[in-house]
Amino acid sequence: MQRTTREPIDAVKTLLVDEKRRSELKAESIHLPSWDLSFRQLWDTELLLNGAFTPLEGYLKQEDSRGVCEEMRLADGSLWPIPIHLDVSEQYAESLSVGDRIALRHPEGMVLAILTISDMWKPDREAEASAVFGTTRMDHPGVRGLLHETNPVYLGGKLEGLELPPHHTFRQLRHTPLELRAEFARLGWNRIVAFQTRNPMHRAHAELTRRVAAEQGAKLLIHPVVGRTSPGDIDYFARVHCYQAVLPQQPPGSTMLSLLPLAMRMAGPREAVWHALIRKNYGCTHFIVGRDHAGPRDADGKPFYGQYDAQELAQKHAEEMRIQVTPVEEMVYCEDRGEYMQRSEVPAGARVLNLSGTELRRRVREGIEVPSWFSYPEVIEELRRRYPPRARQGFTVFFTGLSGSGKSTIANVLVAKLMELDARPVTLLDGDIVRKNLSSELGFSKEHRDLNIRRIGFVASEITKNGGVALCAPIAPYAATRDDVRRLIDHYGGFVEVHVATPLEVCEERDRKGLYAKARAGLIQGFTGIDDPYEAPENAEVVIDTAELSAEQAAQRVIHFLEKEGYITSESQKS
């Protein structure tokens, strides 16, 4: 039954200053040191400034951070489950003192806020990972983000906001908490149930949200995350088109779509509490928490958290959060009844149909029909656009191996063959060529080699993203850096690592450039394989030993792999 009275919702606190203060801060910012916000920091900062992270008034101080990690509480006792810091490099931190003010800049250059540093410390990030994620396993994306992609010094302190980051996409679907509250008030919506999602919505989700809204006598806010989600998730452009396709399926006047620029941590139970608090700040009265909310899975598909841990923790704190947590069960399609039902409602012996995420992706990629009980044709069409078959995706072939192993020779043969066979544009990023232009100022220290490989990886990812073929042929001696490049690229298309595993003795024997002789004579230092490491890949897609194969045969082996995996087919070949 629809209630008419508005549920109590606490005020939100935006950190944006008034016009007068803004001009003063703008003038001051010219003289302040700047920090360029990374994307994650930008998303955190936007939600601090617009009030979505109320009661926070800036980045956590050390005492608050300790409280959040240990007890999910700020020093004043308020509930807050996820630490929000400004992490900076050691070098940058050395130029700062507590009490300093710094200007935080958007990647496009404008100053978004000024931070007054009240705390600066080197955190124990392993301890933070254990507390927040309950694990330090690097295959947990939140742990990985914290331990691998976070700077080593934390700054805490209050923020004064000058402006919110601009959004150039889906502007009509962007709202601050105050704007969304005003919109709800204008529509006369008193009870609003928020649905958090980082995936496309199919029929089960539409059915579930419709049900909850009806049961609670509430309107529905579809509130997808469009900041950082989990690696491998579908990009938000495609997802937003999917949500827009689902809207007409909901009862008229019952549903709103708004995009949330949140950087998720995938912290499962703690994340559910965080999501509920954020939705309360956006003016919602109810929040749906499903099975394994914001819970990642490991490589074997095993979840990191118990299926109902998130529901339990969020419900435990619901009263204090002043938002009603609505736990939901899994919805399944009961074939005998021809409708969606909660799993526990399915009559004994009735047939339940299911389609796993992996099977859905396979069908989408391979152009196989997706049953109409599962999704809407518009959603599937959008997914097919986003996941073209491999023959229409870009891909990178990443050769790695010792100097003189034959990487460039094979890569050159492969360029010619691909240009003959396939319609996609091919770019060769050979080690030597890259070092003459893209990385001309770099040497061969570990730091410079890593930077060199990251630059190559970045260019290759752009080529792959745009449907082209990138062939890279550097030594790339470090496994972790190669893995980072793989992660960067396989989000956009194919990544094929080819280990040119020609033994050192053979490379040295060939010594076409005379560099091994020089290295042995001590005329050059830090030469890979002689007095510098080479970490051989353990899981390369293709392994080639040019002591046994000609360049032509080696290139043919790569072509076979590309054909077997569907990157090259008769369809993609020029007629």
Known catalytic residues are 197-199
Amino acid identity, residue 318? A
- Find the shortest distance in angstroms from Cβ 480 to ligand PPS: 13
Residue pair 397/548 in contact (Cβ under 8 Å)? The answer is no
As beta bridge partners, residue 221 has 194, 256
In terms of CB distance, is 369 or 441 closer to ligand PPS?
441
The Cα 335–Cα 333 span in angstroms is 6
- The three-point CA angle 494-39-429 to 5° equals 35
For the sheet containing 542-544, what is the strand order? 426-430, 469-473, 395-400, 494-500, 542-544
The Cα 201–Cα 257 span in angstroms is 12
| 272 half-sphere exposure, CB direction, 13 A CA radius | 30
The Cα 238–Cα 89 span in angstroms is 34
Q: Is 295 helix (H, G, I), strand (E, B) or coil?
A: coil
- Find the shortest distance in angstroms from Cβ 546 to ligand PPS: 12
Of 65, 12, 45, 13, the closest CA to residue 227 belongs to 45
The first and second tokens of residue 552, run together, are 């032509």
- Find the shortest distance in angstroms from Cβ 537 to ligand PPS: 13
- Find the shortest distance in angstroms from Cβ 485 to ligand PPS: 11
In terms of CB distance, is 18 or 441 closer to ligand PPS?
441
Q: Which residues bind ligand PPS (CB under 6 A)?
A: 403-404, 408, 431-432, 435, 444, 449, 452-453, 474-477, 513, 515, 524, 526-528, 532
Amino acid identity, residue 119? D
The first and second tokens of residue 243, run together, are 């949500």
- Find the shortest distance in angstroms from Cβ 414 to ligand PPS: 15
The first and second tokens of residue 203, run together, are 């029929």
As beta bridge partners, residue 339 has 334
Four-residue CA torsion sign, 52, 57, 60, 65: negative
**Cβ burial, residue 151 (10 Å; 0-12/13-18/19+):** middle
Four-residue CA torsion sign, 257, 258, 259, 264: negative
In terms of CB distance, is 37 or 453 closer to ligand PPS?
453
The Cα 265–Cα 211 span in angstroms is 28
For ligand PPS, the nearest residue by Cβ is: 431
In terms of CB distance, is 283 or 474 closer to ligand PPS?
474
In terms of CB distance, is 65 or 408 closer to ligand PPS?
408
- Find the shortest distance in angstroms from Cβ 559 to ligand PPS: 22
In terms of CB distance, is 36 or 531 closer to ligand PPS?
531
- Find the shortest distance in angstroms from Cβ 504 to ligand PPS: 12
In terms of CB distance, is 361 or 510 closer to ligand PPS?
510
As beta bridge partners, residue 114 has 103, 160
